[in-house]
Amino acid sequence: MSTLSPGLFIRGFEPPLRLRDFRLVAFDMDSTLINIECVDEIAAAAGRKDEVSAITEAAMRGEITDYKDSLRRRVALLKGVPVTALDEVYNRHLHLNPGVETFVGACQAAGLKTLLVSGGFTFFSDRVKHRLGLDFARANVLEMDNGVLTGRLVDRPWGDIVDGAEKRRVVLEVCELMGIAPTQAIAVGDGANDLPMMSVAGLSIAFHGKPAVRDQAMLSIETGGMDRALDVLR
C-alpha cells in the first residue's frame, strides 16, 4: 500500500478513478456514516456500556469470528431498556461523520445509487437513510414490547442478523437487480464484518478502519473526513 497524501493510502490501482464509472456505493453505518456504535450507546442507558463495548470492539477487530453470536449477546444485555433511550441516543449522541454528506452528495450527483447495509438497527438506519436521501437500507430489527427492548432481534424473511455474509449478499443482490457488475460498486466500511462486501466491490474504502480492514482495503482514509475519497475519485 502506498501513501497518496498524509493519512490516505492506496493499494492496487492508480488514481484518479472516475466516480461516474461506478453505479452503486454501499456504506456501513456505525462508525462509518455515523460517529457512534449504536448498540454501545443503548447499553449505556442500561449501565452496561463497558461490557457491551468490549464485545463490539473484539467483533470489529475480527477477534470474535461469529458476529451473529456476538450481536445476540450484546442485544440480550439490552433487555429492559426503554425505547425512549433510543430516541435519546439518536437526538443527543448520533452525528454524521465528517465529510459524509459531501461524499454521499458527490456520489448522488454522479448518478450512483446508495445503499446502507448495517449490522446495527433499523431504528437508526431508517433515520440516517432519510437524512442522507439514500436509496436502499438493510439492518437488524430490535424486538420491543410495551415500550421496552426484549433483548431479542426480530426474524425477517432473509434471516435475523445482518452479518458480513449478509452484507456481501445484499451488495451482490442489488448489483444484480441494477444489472451491473460488482466491479461497478464501491463498498465503504470500518470493521471486520465489512470485509466480505468490500472483497466483491470494484473499490473498497476503509474509513478510519480497524487494522485488518486498513490492510485489505484499496483505499484507506486514516485521517480527516470521508470526503477525502474525492482526492481519488474525480
Q: What is the mean pLDDT of the chain?
A: 95
pLDDT-wise least confident of 59-68, 75-84, 105-114, 134-143 = 59-68
Alpha-carbon torsion angle 187, 191, 195, 197, nearest 10: -40
Q: What is the pLDDT of residues 21-36, one digit of tens each?
A: 999 999 999 999 999 9
pLDDT at 111: 98
Task: Give the model's pLDDT for residue 3.
Answer: 86
pLDDT band at 230 (very low <50, low <70, confident <90, very high): very high
Q: What is the DSSP letter of 139?
A: E
Measured distance CA(220)–CA(32) in Å, rounded? 12
Identity of residue 128? V
In degrees and rounded to multiples of 5, residue 73 shows phi and psi of: -60, -40
- Encode pLDDT of 44-103 as tens digits: 988 999 999 999 888 888 888 888 999 999 999 999 999 999 999 999 999 999 999 999
Q: Give the per-residue pLDDT at 180.
A: 98
Segment 156-184, tens digit of pLDDT:
999 889 999 999 999 999 999 999 999 99
Classified as helix, coil or strand, 80 is: coil
pLDDT at 76: 94
Q: Which of 24, 202, 183 is nearest to 116 (CA)?
A: 24
Question: Going by C-beta distance under 8 Å and a sequence separation of 6 or more, which residues neighbour residue 114?
Answer: 24, 25, 27, 104, 107, 108, 132, 133, 134, 135, 136
Catalytic residues: 28, 30
What's the pLDDT score for residue 160?
85
> Residue 211: pLDDT above 90?
yes
DSSP code at position 16: P
Grid cell for residue 110: 454522479
Domains of the chain: 2-35+96-231 (3.40.50.1000)
pLDDT in tens, 191-203: 999 999 999 999 9
Residue 56 CA neighbour count, 13 Å, CB half: 22
pLDDT attached to residue 4 = 85
> What 3-state class would DSSP assign to 203?
strand
Cα 129 from Cα 122, distance rounded (Å): 10
pLDDT for residue 64:
84
Q: Specify the pLDDT at position 23.
A: 98
Q: What is the pLDDT of residue 196?
A: 98
- Share of residues in the chain with pLDDT > 70 (%): 100
pLDDT of residue 1: 75
Total count of residues recorded for the chain: 234
